[in-house]
Amino acid sequence: MFFQAIIVGTILFLIVRFIRERQQIVKIAKHFGGPKPLPVIGNLLEFNTDIPGIFETGIRLLKIHGPDTFFWGLFNLYLLVVSSPKNVEKVLLAKNAQKSLLYTFLEPWLRTGLLLSSGEKWFQRRRILTPAFHFKILEQFVAVFNKETDVMVANLRKHVDQQEFDIYSYVTLMALDSICETSMGISVNAQNDPDNDYVKNVKSMSVLFLQRIFDPLVATPILYELIHPRAYKQRRIVQELHNFTDSVIAERRKQLQPNGEKRHNFNQSDENLYSKQKMTFLDLLLSVNVDDEPLDDLEIREEVDTFMFEGHDTTTSGISFTIYELARNQHVQDRIYEEIVSILGKNYREAELTYQVLQDFKYLEMAIKEALRLYPSVPFIGRHLTEDTELDGITLPAGVEILVAIYMIHRNPEVFPDPERYDPERFSEDAESKRGPYDYIPFSAGARNCIGQRFAMLEMKVAIIKLISNYRILPGESLQQFRVRTDLVIRPHTGVAVKLMERV
């Protein structure tokens, strides 16, 4: 009888708690509005479609229900999507907000590097890693971008005056080669050896992440890890990725030690750090002290892996969607070509693209920014509230999952009239000065904005300049069926179909 009473009491307690939580959630849902939910399953049936259809459905519902929209999941699970500037600002500036649940799916690979860490560890790592993006180090990275883009341009030559093809796959391999060399100082030769094990494993992790987002076991990570066959595959791939990074770290540590490599204490300012030749992201991590202690191999690995993950998919997206828009807007492509000739001269194909020279490409930068407006590489940013937070006159309890819809922020017709139209002039100095700080945030905003945004912009500029210098990019026939999908990064669902003509 005693144990029966305990069981009955526990069930009653859980029912009462469920009802109280439900009442609180219903109040929040009514305040913000959103699609009408079904019992138990909420709005999940709305998203019973193919992968790009899930993205399209989400955008359609946001357009119908307004900038801040409430979605129901199973039982009491829910999600608030915000895109109004005032609420976006509050969420992105919230001091104690953490990355959302979806990001934890990456922890087996990235552990708690800069992307996934929080609190004091995040502040410390951000301080350590900021010097890696000092302009004198970025100057060295530009040389890598030149070299790897030249390989891509050469590999594309076989498509000149031929049928349409998918350029997205070429950009992906170029970006992967670039990030491997700038982060680890090694060449995986992905562009000429796409079957390389490391290349395949990085691609596989992106696919596994996408599959897990839409898996029914998403809300029960323990069950996923225990019984799902993809969890076994993921563990094997993660181990191979870690083994590769560990071997690179060990080899580079050996190379640095005999040379009496100086360690740099990041509690102090040391301009000599930036004069080091051919410094990679890994070199910087191997040469720092934090509170008079060097980083151990595990700490270094999680940051190198994070840089690898964040640094190739995002730039691939930015370059590819810019190509997509330039193929569809030949007048913009012509203006970029004219800018290339005016800045680099008649021998523009052989001219060296340096950090300083790239700063002169103002119209190109406007064109890239406009592509990032329409297709921000990270279209949604997830946040998990760790304390009660007031939004729009109502208090959200700690534990709420929020998505900041950058894709929708960039399509606000009050800020960007005729928002679906591609128009680089939106980013003239005069036009930019009239917008608020949260009207355009392709690299996020607040303390956790993208640390590598200058790195990304330089790589995108080099890629577009070299492509337009050599080829006129034309739209392929199937570009009319263009659709996008998203996991953490927005992607063309079936690639970017283009044709190439040689420039003479």
Q: Could you read off the pLDDT of 234-287 as tens digits, one per residue?
A: 999 999 999 999 999 988 888 777 554 554 444 434 444 333 446 788 888 888
In 375-412, alpha helices (H): 406-409
pLDDT for 265 equals: 47
Beta strands in 252-305 (DSSP E): 264-265, 288-290, 293-294
Buried residues in 119-151 as b, exposed as e (16+ CB within 10 A): eeebeebeebbebbeeeebbebbbbbbbebbeb
pLDDT on residue 219: 60
What confidence category does residue 427 fall into, taking pLDDT thresholds of 50, 70 and 90? very high
Instruction: For residue 330, give both structure tokens.
Output: 């030949």
Mean pLDDT along residues 149-165: 97
Sole residue written with tokens 């119209």: 363
Average pLDDT over residues 365-372: 98
Among 320-329, 332-341, 484-493, the range scoring the smallest mean pLDDT is: 484-493
Q: Distance of alpha carbon 474 from its chain centroid, rounded?
A: 27
Q: Can you count the helices (H) and strands (E) in the chain?
A: 18, 15
Give the per-residue pLDDT at 278. 64
Q: Is residue 125 over pLDDT 70?
A: yes
What is the per-residue pLDDT for 17?
75
* Lowest pLDDT segment from 160-174, 326-340, 386-400: 386-400
Domain boundaries, the chain: 1-76, 77-502
Neighbouring C-beta atoms of residue 478, cutoff 10 Å: 14
Q: How far is CA 331 from CA 320, 336, 346, 367, 368, in A?
A: 18, 9, 21, 11, 15
Q: What angle do CA 96, 452, 56 make, to 5 degrees?
A: 75
Quote the mean pLDDT of the chain: 88
Q: Among 142, 152, 173, 192, which Cα is nearest to 471's?
A: 152
Among 88, 35, 91, 85, smallest CA distance to 63 is for 35
CA distance 452 to 132: 9
Using 50, 70 and 90 to split pLDDT, how confident is the model at 197?
confident
CB under 8 Å, gap of 24 or more: what pairs does 218-224 form?
A: 219/73, 219/74, 219/77, 221/104
CA distances from 314 to 12, 392, 442 (A): 48, 32, 11
Read off the tokens for 254: 């050996």
- Mean pLDDT throughout 477-483? 92
User: pLDDT class for 350, splitting at 50, 70, 90?
Assistant: confident
Domain 77-502 sits in CATH at 1.10.630.10
Residue 402 has pLDDT above 90, yes or no: yes
CB-based burial, 321-341: b 16+ in 10 Å, e otherwise? bbbbbbbbbeebbebbbebbe
The amino acid sitting at 351 is A
Identify each DSSP E strand in 318-437 by its residue range. Answer: 380-384, 389-391, 394-396, 401-405
Comparison of pLDDT for 293 and 424, the residue scoring more: 424
Rounded Cα distance between 263 and 276, Å, is 12
Contacts of 295 (CB under 8 A, 6+ apart): 128, 285, 286, 288
Measured on CA atoms in the order 41, 42, 48, 50, is the torsion positive or negative?
A: negative
Is residue 35 within 8 Å of 61, Cβ to Cβ?
yes
pLDDT value at residue 146: 95
pLDDT higher for 486 or 456? Answer: 456
Averaged pLDDT for residues 141-166: 96
Q: Where are the beta strands (DSSP E) in 275-317?
A: 288-290, 293-294
> What distance in Å separates the CA atoms of residue 378 and residue 375, rounded to the nearest whole number?
8
With bands split at pLDDT 50, 70 and 90, how would you rate the model's confidence at 51?
confident
The C-alpha atoms of residue 325 and residue 320 are separated, in whole angstroms, by: 9
In 3D, which of 146, 182, 176 has the Cα closest to residue 285?
Answer: 182
Lowest-pLDDT choice from 75-89, 94-108, 215-229, 484-498? 215-229
In this prediction, residues 309-326 reach a mean pLDDT of 93
Check the CA dihedral 408-409-413-417 and report its sign.
Answer: negative
Query: Span 289-294, mean pLDDT?
Result: 76
Nearest to 425 by CA among 491, 329, 495: 329
